């Protein structure tokens, strides 16, 4: 019995140390970009295309289980959102969020969000001739 309790205590200690190590990599951040779905976004960002995907498509993919990501405009990088409920209803809108970023883990945690501009679909619009 004592051995089991000792192992359980040791396991708890290991988890606590791991959590502290992870939180030590979290840095406060204010960033601009877009919340989107991983499925439609990962390949585009990898190819240097930084911007939102179609809002209806993003919402559908997220509803079907795709992970929510933040496309960081200045870093031209994609980060997984560890609290996606904070982004519900603002997918593909241009936003500024305040929270924490763990660049090593590739994650962000959203504390507050401000929509800077609502999403406007660009498909179907004729190209301007300049």
Residue spans of the domains in the chain: they are 26-117
Q: Which percentage of the chain shows pLDDT scores above 70? A: 76
Q: Which pLDDT score, from 0 to 100, does residue 45 have?
A: 94
Examine the pLDDT at 44 and tell me if it is beyond 80: yes
The SS3 call for residue 9 is helix
* CATH code of the domain occupying 26-117: 2.40.50
Compute the distance between CA of residue 42 and CA of residue 62 in angstroms, rounded to an integer.
14
- Integer Cα distance of 50 and 128 in angstroms: 21
Taking residues 41-56, report their average pLDDT: 94
User: What local confidence, expressed as pLDDT, does residue 124 receive?
Assistant: 55
Q: Is this structure's pTM higher than 0.85?
A: no
pLDDT band at 17 (very low <50, low <70, confident <90, very high): very low
């Amino acid at each position: 019995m004592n051995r089991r309790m000792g192992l359980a205590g040791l396991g708890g200690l290991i988890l606590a140390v791991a959590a502290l190590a992870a939180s030590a990599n979290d840095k406060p951040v204010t960033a601009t970009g877009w919340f989107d779905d991983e499925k439609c976004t990962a390949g585009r960002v990898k190819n240097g295309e930084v911007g939102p995907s179609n809002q209806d498509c993003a919402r559908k993919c997220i509803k079907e289980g795709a992970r929510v990501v933040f496309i960081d405009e200045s870093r031209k990088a994609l980060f997984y959102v560890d609290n996606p409920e904070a982004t519900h209803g603002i997918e593909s809108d241009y936003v500024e969020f305040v929270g924490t970023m763990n660049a090593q883990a590739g994650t962000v945690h959203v504390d507050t969000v401000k929509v800077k501009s609502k999403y406007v679909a660009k498909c179907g619009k004729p190209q301007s001739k300049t």
